[in-house]
Amino acid sequence: MECRDGNLVAFIERSVAKYGTGRENLLPVLRDVNEEFGYVSGAAFIEISRLMDISIGEIHGVASFYSFINEENKGNYIIRLCKTISCDMAGKDKIEKTLERELGIKFGESTKDGLFALEYANCMGLCDKGPAMLVNSQLYDSLTPESVLDVISEYRRNIR
């Protein structure tokens, strides 16, 4: 939804009305748009700027600072694998290889069908339950190669 789509504009208007126009509410509005549309487009930046009276540059600065705010459509399901030392020690490499093999892509890429994207993320706060990953906003911990395959299968079933 790159153009000034009525659904996008109406959604942003509702989100801004919900949180308010103060700068402290920019991140919640960005999160709402990201959650609803999968990313925050240039058109969304313009509408947020208009409604909140914040420069597009400032909005871009906030959006680009947070790795969980997407500025482009990466896929329906963005899988973020924790890359901290504790997840590394708990077997992150096996999870990484399983994800890449199962999806046929490397980290930083998206599948050709647009269903999945692989990214790394910093600490998810589950150092005692690693390795951990997020699929969009759903958290998975204590991962094994087998449990990762189950998660991927579940998301594939949900799309059909």
Return averaged pLDDT per consecutive 10 residues of the chain, 160 residues in all.
69 97 96 91 96 96 87 88 92 97 95 93 88 92 97 87
CATH code reported for the domain at 77-159: 3.40.30.10
- Sign of the Cα torsion 35, 37, 40, 45 reads negative
Q: pLDDT at position 1, please?
A: 40
For residue 33, what pLDDT is reported? 96
Residue type, 45: F
What does the pLDDT read at residue 74? 84
pLDDT given for residue 3 in this prediction: 41
Q: At CA 123, angle to CA 66 and CA 146, rounded to 5?
A: 115
- Give me the residue spans of the domains in the chain: 6-65, 77-159
What pLDDT shows up at residue 38?
85
Residue 20 confidence (pLDDT): 96
Query: What pLDDT does residue 5 have?
Result: 67
Q: Which ranges in 1-144 belong to alpha helices (H)?
A: 6-19, 26-37, 42-52, 56-65, 85-89, 92-103
Separation between Cα atoms, residue 78 and residue 51, nearest integer Å: 29
d(CA 126, CA 133): 10
Cα dihedral 129, 132, 136, 139 in deg (nearest 10)? -10
